[in-house]
Amino acid sequence: MMQNFVTLIRAAVFFGTVIMFGCVGETVTEKAGNLNLGVPGIMYLGGIASLSSVFIYEGSTENPNKAVCVLLALVSAFVASSLGGLIYAFLTITLRANQNVTGLTLTIFGSGVANFFGGSLNTLAGRFEQIAVPVTSAAFRTTLPFSDSLGIVGELFFSYGFMVYLAIVFAVMTHLFMNHTRRGLNLRTVGENPAAADAAGINVNLNKYLAICLGAGICGFGGVYYVMDYIKGTWANDGSIETLGWLAVALVIFTTWKSKHAIWGAYLFGILYWLYLYIPGLTRSSQEIFKMLPYVVTVVVLIVTSLRNSRDKQPPAALGLPYFREER
Amino acid sequence: MADAAIEFKNVTKRFGSVVANDHVSMTVNKGEILSLLGENGSGKTSLMNMLSGIYFPDEGEIFINGKPVTIRDPKDAYALKIGMVHQHFKLVDVFTAAENLIVGIDPGKKLNRKEIADEIKEICDKYGFVVEPGKKVYDMSVSEKQTLEIVKMLYRGADILILDEPTAVLTPQESEHLFSVIKNMKKDGKTVIIITHKLHEVLSVSDRVAILRKGRYIETIKTSEADEEKLTELMVGRHMELNIERPEVKNKELRLSVKNLNCVNSEGQQVLFDINFDLYGGEILGIAGISGNGQKELLEAIAGLQKTLAGASVIYYDPEADKKDEDGKSAGMEMIGLSPRMIREKGIHLSFVPEDRLGMGLVGSMGMTENMMIRDYSTASKSLLFTDKKKPRELAEEIKESLGVVTPDISTPVSRLSGGNVQKVLVGREIAAAPAVLMTAYAVRGLDINTSYTIYDLLNEQKKKGVAIIYVGEDLDVILALCDRILVLCDGHVNGILKGTEARKEEVGLLMTALKDKRREETAE
């Protein structure tokens, strides 16, 4: 029983970390008033960029340096994802394309690109072999040295790779930035009322561009964590990044656009997602009902906040709308 | 002469072919309260928007404190200590007062809410404002929001303050308080410009009045030397004879009877007060008034698009009804409480040309043919599954032909047509529905002279057929020449109904801008 509980929590943390990155990144983007539905695609881009760069590095040196591996994975993922964000930003801000359509296209584009290169890497690795980047993956999965000696506490809280904690740090820092700095206030103004931001002398487009690219970069880390830790440095063409990406978007709604809630919300989604494994007597079909739970709670949160009409829990007022200075 | 705070030299601003400001040269003195007076579309707001950095002049120069300046965006305006309170507040609803105040300033500085609250208090005490720093904007009344906007400008160190229609949303008491605050700011050496069209306010608060008319600067006079008649004359200009027909129709029948119409807008403010009038077939009833004085709500209430307060009644008398009583009147039909669709299904022939042509009137991405279908697609076709496109296509061709709509093809999306052609499509469709009552809102807005005359001819043709027409317009000369009777709206009240042949322009202008005293007191209570 106890062991079951620990396994469930650990599974939830692995799962939650991927979507926490996605959720925090998307929150930054949405606070600037842009709904980027390209999160799954961006996660794909981040994942494949880190995997391929590290694969080349590990294959070209005798003794790959762990620190270099980790840095290379993170930097390449951030750059690739931000470029994905930049495409989206250019289309929606400068060309004023429809945000939903652009975002969905980015998802299709990202998954296509990633699976193309992922498949190619598998081929490169050999006909029957799976691609593997053992050194990097091990570095990502290194836990704190004392976690083994702390029993259940150690297992529950300290038995994870560093990115689990990095996700929490990002969530906290985003919260502090949004609510306790003037730059964060400016960014939120852009998402709430771009005309007011403009009249207050804030560069609306610059803020949007920065927020979207940075947000996409953070989403990309979710892809890195998925590839390096969650599936241990391999590639799978099974579309599970996409599932996680959509859950990250749902999590933004669940947290009512407050990144601090992503810290527990992400793990809750993880628990709900894996719960079916721990409920005895489920058949294949009744499992699926349990897998719906994260989506169901998101819908419930939407209904409750709308019913209560709580103004502080609404999406940014100008979310999804293009902005251009009024001309008659 | 006093020092000039602002000087405009030959400033011109165009929007496409429309000239919003035509070589305006005027001066605002340091430390004075100046009223900028003019009708709708006289270019008051666009002139001021060039000071606040929203627009950039096409021609001419602006001098601030004697130095030529270039104001490219709002940041430049702040640097020159110019602050503008726009008619539509630029506030973030989910932020507190304090947060709204500091948005955009010193992005690198620490966000210390306590310190900001103290600074707000200082400003408030100095001028007599009340602002709660921690209050969220969505909890504020309109007047609180406006106060916050003014304090925001002062917090940013504005020396020149521009207020765009500041009293449009305020109660009389709140307006009084605002004026006392404005006078305090003047004592402190600030220059204040108030954009307005309310004469009594101009007279009570300002030192001088600058008058704009149709984009041109007319003159600036001292308030002490002005009175309501003189200002009205300067504002509306001398009467111009227009060559518009006004055919006389005999045997007018009562078509629409509006009684006790009261309306509240979405903000909870009452916008129509006890509207009573009758409308006859074969007449054009002009509705004059500064825009935003209840015209929109009135038309929409009749069309079934706007909720009315209890007790309102709009009775429609069908011209073709069989049963008529001894006076020749048919039995009336109550229209209040009916949706637009129900109105049509009951056989009430009402046509409505709304102000927002592409928003409410037509679907911009559809061609003429589809737009013809919107009115009756559900009943026009006998087939269960498919719509009948033949007749609408014929109608579209006919309208294109007869009204001279310039379009490459009747399937071209109407949003690609020019404003005048869009209007022709809309008016053509509404007239083709053979209305008994035709309501038009700003039917000629943005149209060139020739197209405007085409529209007047169309309306007159309908009038001769016995249609009852409501014409909401902004050009007084046109209203005076075209309409049989003129109903003047002011602050949501019927401030007078005049005969078209006898009304004088000054009289109408005065009724538009100054509510008769008796009524004003009633509203204040």
Judge whether residue A125 has pLDDT over 80.
no
Q: Residues of B with CB below 8 A from A197's CB?
A: 103-104
Tens-digit pLDDT profile for residues A247-268 = 999 999 999 999 999 999 999 9
- Phi, psi dihedrals of residue B356, rounded to the nearest 5°: -90, 90
Cβ A196–B136 below 8 Å, yes or no? no
Nearest CA in chain B to A190: B92
Pair (B95, B231) in one structural domain: yes
- Phi, psi dihedrals of residue B386, rounded to the nearest 5°: -110, 150
Which of B20, B90, B111 lies nearest to residue A196, judging by beta carbons? B90
Per the document, the length of chain A is: 328
Pair (B230, B285) in one structural domain: no
Whether A309 and A298 have beta carbons less than 8 Å apart is answered as no
Nearest CA in chain B to A185: B103
Distance from the A131 Cα atom to the nearest Cα atom in chain B, whole angstroms: 46
Give the per-residue pLDDT at A36. 96
DSSP secondary structure string for all residues of B108-160: TSB--HHHHHHHHHHHHHHHT----TT-BGGGS-HHHHHHHHHHHHHHTT-SE
Give the per-residue pLDDT at B1. 46
Tell whether B242 is covered by a domain.
no
| Amino acid at position B42, single letter | S
Cβ A199–B86 below 8 Å, yes or no? yes
Give the per-residue pLDDT at B517. 59
Whether A186 and A197 have beta carbons less than 8 Å apart is answered as yes
Q: Which residue has the tokens 């015209």?
A: B295
Interface of B with A (CB under 8 A): 15, 18, 20, 52, 54, 73-75, 78, 84, 86, 90-95, 99-100, 102-111, 136, 138
| pLDDT band for position A245 (cuts 50, 70, 90) | very high
Taking all residues of chain A, what is their mean pLDDT, rounded to a whole number? 91
| pLDDT band for position A112 (cuts 50, 70, 90) | very high
Give the per-residue pLDDT at B525. 43
Tens-digit pLDDT profile for residues B320-358 = 765 555 555 567 888 888 888 888 888 888 999 998 888
| pLDDT band for position A287 (cuts 50, 70, 90) | confident
Give the per-residue pLDDT at B381. 67
Q: What is the dihedral of CA A178, A181, A184, A185, to 10 degrees?
A: 100
Domain count for chain A: 1
Give the per-residue pLDDT at B384. 75
Give the per-residue pLDDT at B33. 95
Q: Residues of B with CB below 8 A from A196's CB?
A: 90-92, 100, 103
Which of B94, B105, B106 lies nearest to residue A192, judging by beta carbons? B94
Give the per-residue pLDDT at A169. 97
Asked whether the CA dihedral B454, B455, B457, B458 is positive or negative, the reply is positive
Domain boundary among B236, B266, B289: B236
Pair (B168, B42) in one structural domain: yes
Report percent pLDDT > 70 for chain A. Answer: 98
How many residue contacts between A and B have a Cβ separation below 8 Å? 80
Distance CA B316, CA B124 (A): 54
Whether B472 and B442 have beta carbons less than 8 Å apart is answered as yes
- Residue B341 burial (CB count, 10 A): 10
Pair (B156, B101) in one structural domain: yes
Taking all residues of chain B, what is their mean pLDDT, rounded to a whole number? 86
- Quote the domain boundaries for residue A139: 2-327
Query: In A73-109, which positions are buried (b, 16+ CB within 10 angstroms) versus exposed (e)?
Result: bbebbbbbbbbbbebbbebbbeeebebeebbebbbeb
Pair (B301, B201) in one structural domain: no
Mutate to test the interface with A, among B85, B103, B114 (most CBs of A within 10 A): B103
Cβ B90–A193 below 8 Å, yes or no? yes
Nearest CA in chain B to A327: B15
Report chain B's C-alpha Rg in angstroms. 25
Q: In the beta sheet, which residues pair with residue B191?
A: B160
Pair (B213, B362) in one structural domain: no
Give the per-residue pLDDT at A326. 61
Arithmetic mean of pLDDT, A64-70: 92
Low-confidence ranges of chain B (pLDDT < 50): 1, 524-525
Distance CA A129, CA A123 (A): 8
Nearest CA in chain A to B55: A327
Tell whether B320 is covered by a domain.
no
Tell whether B340 is covered by a domain.
no
Tell whether B92 is covered by a domain.
yes
Distance CA A327, CA B18 (A): 12
Tell whether B21 is covered by a domain.
yes
Pair (B369, B460) in one structural domain: yes
- Phi, psi dihedrals of residue B88, rounded to the nearest 5°: -95, 115
| pLDDT band for position A128 (cuts 50, 70, 90) | low
What is the 8-class DSSP label of residue B38?
-
Burial of B85 (0-12, 13-18, 19+ CB in 10 A): buried
Tell whether B249 is covered by a domain.
no
Cβ B111–A317 below 8 Å, yes or no? no
Q: What is the CATH number of the domain that holds B410?
A: 3.40.50.300
Q: Which residue has the tokens 């300002």?
A: B206
Which of A201, A311, A325 lies nearest to residue B75, judging by beta carbons? A201
Q: What is the CATH number of the domain that holds A41?
A: 1.10.3470
Pair (B209, B356) in one structural domain: no
Cβ A311–B54 below 8 Å, yes or no? no
DSSP secondary structure string for all residues of B157-190: T-SEEEEESTTTTS-HHHHHHHHHHHHHHHHTT-
Arithmetic mean of pLDDT, A270-287: 87
- Quote the domain boundaries for residue B448: 281-306+345-524
Nearest CA in chain B to A178: B111
Tens-digit pLDDT profile for residues A15-41 = 999 999 999 999 999 999 999 999 999
Q: Which residue has the tokens 């700003």?
A: B442
Distance CA B420, CA B298 (A): 25
Distance from the B357 Cα atom to the nearest Cα atom in chain A, whole angstroms: 15
Distance CA B4, CA B10 (A): 16
Q: Which of A108-112, A167-171, B143-147 has the lowest mean pLDDT?
A: B143-147
Arithmetic mean of pLDDT, A279-301: 85
Judge whether residue A325 has pLDDT over 80.
no
Distance from the B100 Cα atom to the nearest Cα atom in chain A, whole angstroms: 9
Pair (B230, B374) in one structural domain: no
Distance CA A190, CA A323 (A): 10
Pair (B177, B301) in one structural domain: no
Tell whether B490 is covered by a domain.
yes
| Amino acid at position A303, single letter | I
In A125-239, which ranges are continuous DSSP H helix?
134-141, 151-153, 162-180, 182-192, 194-199, 204-225
- Residue B195 burial (CB count, 10 A): 23
Cβ A198–B52 below 8 Å, yes or no? no
Burial of A62 (0-12, 13-18, 19+ CB in 10 A): exposed
Per the document, the length of chain B is: 525
Domain count for chain B: 2
Give the per-residue pLDDT at B39. 77
Cβ A188–B95 below 8 Å, yes or no? yes
Q: Which of A280, A300, A303 is nearest to A290 (CA)?
A: A280
Judge whether residue A176 has pLDDT over 80.
yes
Tens-digit pLDDT profile for residues B81-115 = 999 998 888 999 999 999 999 998 888 888 888 99
Give the per-residue pLDDT at B280. 92
Q: In the beta sheet, which residues pair with residue B333?
A: B316
DSSP secondary structure string for all residues of B477-493: HHHHHH-SEEEEEETTE
Give the per-residue pLDDT at B463. 92
Give the per-residue pLDDT at A309. 75
Interface of A with B (CB under 8 A): 180-183, 185-186, 188-189, 192-193, 195-202, 311-312, 314, 317, 325-328
Tell whether B453 is covered by a domain.
yes
Pair (B171, B289) in one structural domain: no
Tokens at residue A174, please? 């985003």
Distance from the B108 Cα atom to the nearest Cα atom in chain A, whole angstroms: 7
Asked whether the CA dihedral B458, B460, B464, B466 is positive or negative, the reply is positive
- pTM higher than 0.90, yes or no? no
Give the per-residue pLDDT at B97. 94
Distance CA B331, CA B316 (A): 9
Distance from the B494 Cα atom to the nearest Cα atom in chain A, whole angstroms: 31
Give the per-residue pLDDT at A127. 59
Judge whether residue A129 has pLDDT over 70.
no
Pair (B101, B185) in one structural domain: yes
Q: Residues of B with CB below 8 A from A182's CB?
A: 102, 105-111
